[in-house]
Chains A and B, each alone.
Chain A
Amino acid sequence: MKLETEKIENALLVTPVVRRLDASVALRFKEAVTAVIQQGETQLVLDFSRVDFIDSSCLGALISLLKSLSGKGQLVLCSLNGNIKAMFALTRMDRVFTLCSDRSEALAAIKRGS
């Protein structure tokens, strides 16, 4: 499970490079991003532009990342394709997470929130 990271001001852009974010990689994904958080990064943008598909198994991973940042940081998701957006709508997770259309909108959301 490869993660590309890029620091922009105080925000860290994290891009999972994986076609399917499903049960087979959910745990590794969670551990990889948790490691980033443990290094002290608290303003995170997760960029899904390289992900075609995520299944409901990965929601648990995203929720635990959100919980581990709660009160001390922010998690914003961006660049979700139509399928992924539909899954977030179906599971109401669009009300739990901040979803942005692209990186610049996500960085602006981080700035507003911090």
Chain B
Amino acid sequence: MMERQPQSVLIVDDALLYRRLLAGLLRQWGYTIFEAENGEQALALLAQETVSLVISDWEMPVMDGLKLCSEIRQQIQDRYIYVIVLTARDSVEDLRVGFAAGADDFLPKPVNQVELQARLHAGERILRLEASLASKNRHLSAALTQIEQDLQAAATLQRSILPPHHLRQGDYFADWLFMPSAWVSGDLFHLFPLNEEAVGFYCVDVAGHGVTAAMMSVAVARQFLHGRTVDPFLFDGAAITPPAQVVRILNERFCAQHPEVTSYFTMVYGVIDRHTGKGRLCQAGHPTPLIVNATGEVREVGEGGPPVGLLDHLDWEETTFQLAPGERLCLYSDGISECESAEGEMFGAARLETLLASLHGHALAALLEAVEQSLSQWRGTAASAADDISLLVIERQHGLKRETKDET
């Protein structure tokens, strides 16, 4: 319960005698009193003192009560001022004009004491409500600022786990397109070295977006980073862990951590032999990867499979593939296939296949740019995508000569 402080009242009237009479009465009722002769004096006082309750005469020289009301509404923004106007006028039109100017209440002159006291109490009640609202608003806006700062920090953190552009691993070159749906998103992907013989790649799409999804994607990225070093589950002794087994391990870990099915993800994880281009991948709820060959023919690689972190005791399969020099392996999130046009039509996997096929002759950077343009055009006036959009393209280039050093 808030402690009630003695309420201050500003009395504005050009008639000294009447003003003093009213002031005396209100002092008896326990109010602290300020006095002004006209609107101008009243405004000057309100700027200096924290008084929030005003009783003002309507007719006054210099600045009348109505002008005072509208000036108060314009000038004083830091608190609400409750204004009771005293008047002998009682026509509906006068009341309408008075309310329109910003008056809160009217009292007929001569003033009836009981009525005055009741109206003052009503005014105080409004002021208390207003003060409590203002204090809640201050808390809320401080909280909002904090949340916005945290979101910004989370977005920065999330961006920091995305790989650099132009990833090169020997003859394998990868680049990517990423269009986040909100401040923080849940897509991530990478092409990384496993050992002298093989490279690994993954694409992950955490269900939902926002801070929870971003935190989950950071946790998944950490698994892949640690999986090569401190907790090398990507290796089985000297051999490389089969992709389906990696997915099973991740499922066990994330199911154990999140028994309530709050978050889970779809992914593709795969490995490619650096020398032969033979690869295998495990598709876990993610859209089926595509291979585009040098003449623009497209084939799908994947058998489907459940998302990770959703249910215990599920199983995954592997698909083998062969990536020939000049061929591209394309991994995308469902943000692309499910990207809606302004009319509500989805972009669809078939349209993406056609697009990728038509771009087979383009350099990777030009291809990604063209895909981004197509999707932006498709989306049209829709403010932002409903879901994160990501596309990772891994290209096997024609073998480089021995003396050519790898680019970084």
A residues contacting B by CB (< 8 A) are 19, 22-24, 26, 53, 55-57, 59-60, 63-64, 67, 89-93, 96
Q: Is the Cβ of B305 less than 8 Å from the Cβ of A92?
A: yes
Is B293 engaged at the interface, CB distance under 8 Å to the other chain?
A: no
- B321-339: contact bitstring with A at CB < 8 Å (1 yes, 0 no)? 0000000000000100010
Q: Is the Cβ of B207 less than 8 Å from the Cβ of A59?
A: yes
Q: Is the Cβ of A56 less than 8 Å from the Cβ of B207?
A: yes
Distance, CA A91 to CA B314, complexed state (A): 11
Distance to closest chain A CB from B52 (angstroms): 42
Q: Is the Cβ of A56 less than 8 Å from the Cβ of B261?
A: no
Q: Is the Cβ of B305 less than 8 Å from the Cβ of A23?
A: no
Is B390 engaged at the interface, CB distance under 8 Å to the other chain?
A: no
Q: Is the Cβ of B306 less than 8 Å from the Cβ of A92?
A: yes
- B304-317: contact bitstring with A at CB < 8 Å (1 yes, 0 no)? 11110011001000
Q: Is the Cβ of B207 less than 8 Å from the Cβ of A60?
A: yes
Chain B interface residue count, CB cutoff 8 Å, equals 26
**Chain B CB within 10 A, most for which of A53, A57, A89, A93:** A57
* Cβ contact of A90, chosen from B261, B285, B310, B344, cutoff 8 A: B285
Distance, CA A19 to CA B386, complexed state (A): 14
Q: Closest 3 CB pairs between A and B?
A: A92-B306, A91-B285, A57-B207
* Cβ contact of B285, chosen from A23, A53, A56, A67, cutoff 8 A: A56
Distance, CA A64 to CA B261, complexed state (A): 6
Q: Is the Cβ of A55 less than 8 Å from the Cβ of B338?
A: yes
List 21 A-B residue pairs with CB atoms under 8 Å apart, sorted by A's residue number. A23-B209, A23-B387, A26-B208, A55-B387, A56-B207, A56-B285, A59-B264, A60-B207, A60-B261, A63-B261, A64-B260, A64-B261, A67-B261, A90-B288, A91-B285, A91-B304, A91-B305, A91-B306, A92-B305, A93-B306, A96-B311
Is B266 engaged at the interface, CB distance under 8 Å to the other chain?
A: yes
Q: Is the Cβ of B311 less than 8 Å from the Cβ of A56?
A: no
Distance to closest chain A CB from B379 (angstroms): 15
* Cβ contact of A59, chosen from B209, B310, B344, cutoff 8 A: B310
Q: Is the Cβ of B346 less than 8 Å from the Cβ of A53?
A: yes
Is B262 engaged at the interface, CB distance under 8 Å to the other chain?
A: yes
Distance to closest chain B CB from A9 (angstroms): 30
Inter-chain contacts of B306 with A (CB < 8 A): 91-93, 96
Distance to closest chain B CB from A52 (angstroms): 8
Number of A-B contacts (CB under 8 A): 58
Chain A residue with Cβ nearest B306:
A92
* Cβ contact of B304, chosen from A22, A57, A92, cutoff 8 A: A92
Q: Is the Cβ of A56 less than 8 Å from the Cβ of B305?
A: no
Inter-chain contacts of A64 with B (CB < 8 A): 260-261
Inter-chain contacts of A55 with B (CB < 8 A): 334, 338, 387
Chain A residue with Cβ nearest B210:
A23
Distance, CA A92 to CA B205, complexed state (A): 17
Distance, CA A100 to CA B209, complexed state (A): 31
Is B263 engaged at the interface, CB distance under 8 Å to the other chain?
A: yes
Contact flag A60-B304 (CB < 8 Å), given A22-B386, A26-B208, A91-B285: no
Inter-chain contacts of A56 with B (CB < 8 A): 205, 207, 266, 285, 307, 334
Q: Is the Cβ of B386 less than 8 Å from the Cβ of A24?
A: yes
**In residues 273-323 of chain B, which contact A (Cβ within 8 Å)?**
285, 287-288, 304-307, 310-311, 314
Distance, CA A70 to CA B306, complexed state (A): 20
Distance, CA A63 to CA B306, complexed state (A): 12
Distance to closest chain B CB from A87 (angstroms): 9
Distance to closest chain B CB from A36 (angstroms): 18
Distance, CA A9 to CA B209, complexed state (A): 40
Q: Is the Cβ of B266 less than 8 Å from the Cβ of A91?
A: yes
Q: Is the Cβ of B264 less than 8 Å from the Cβ of A60?
A: yes
Q: With contacts A23-B386, A60-B207, A92-B305 known, what are 7 further pairs, Cβ within 8 A? A: A19-B344, A24-B386, A63-B261, A90-B288, A91-B266, A92-B304, A93-B306
Chain B residue with Cβ nearest A90:
B304
**Chain A CB within 10 A, most for which of B310, B338, B344, B346:** B310
Chain B residue with Cβ nearest A23:
B208
**Chain B CB within 10 A, most for which of A59, A63, A93:** A59
Q: Is the Cβ of A92 less than 8 Å from the Cβ of B260?
A: no
Distance, CA A67 to CA B255, complexed state (A): 13
**Chain B CB within 10 A, most for which of A24, A59, A89, A92:** A92
Inter-chain contacts of B288 with A (CB < 8 A): 90
Distance to closest chain B CB from A18 (angstroms): 13
Inter-chain contacts of A24 with B (CB < 8 A): 386
Distance to closest chain B CB from A7 (angstroms): 28
**In residues 372-408 of chain B, which contact A (Cβ within 8 Å)?**
386-387
Distance, CA A53 to CA B386, complexed state (A): 13
Chain A residue with Cβ nearest B349:
A86
Distance to closest chain A CB from B307 (angstroms): 6
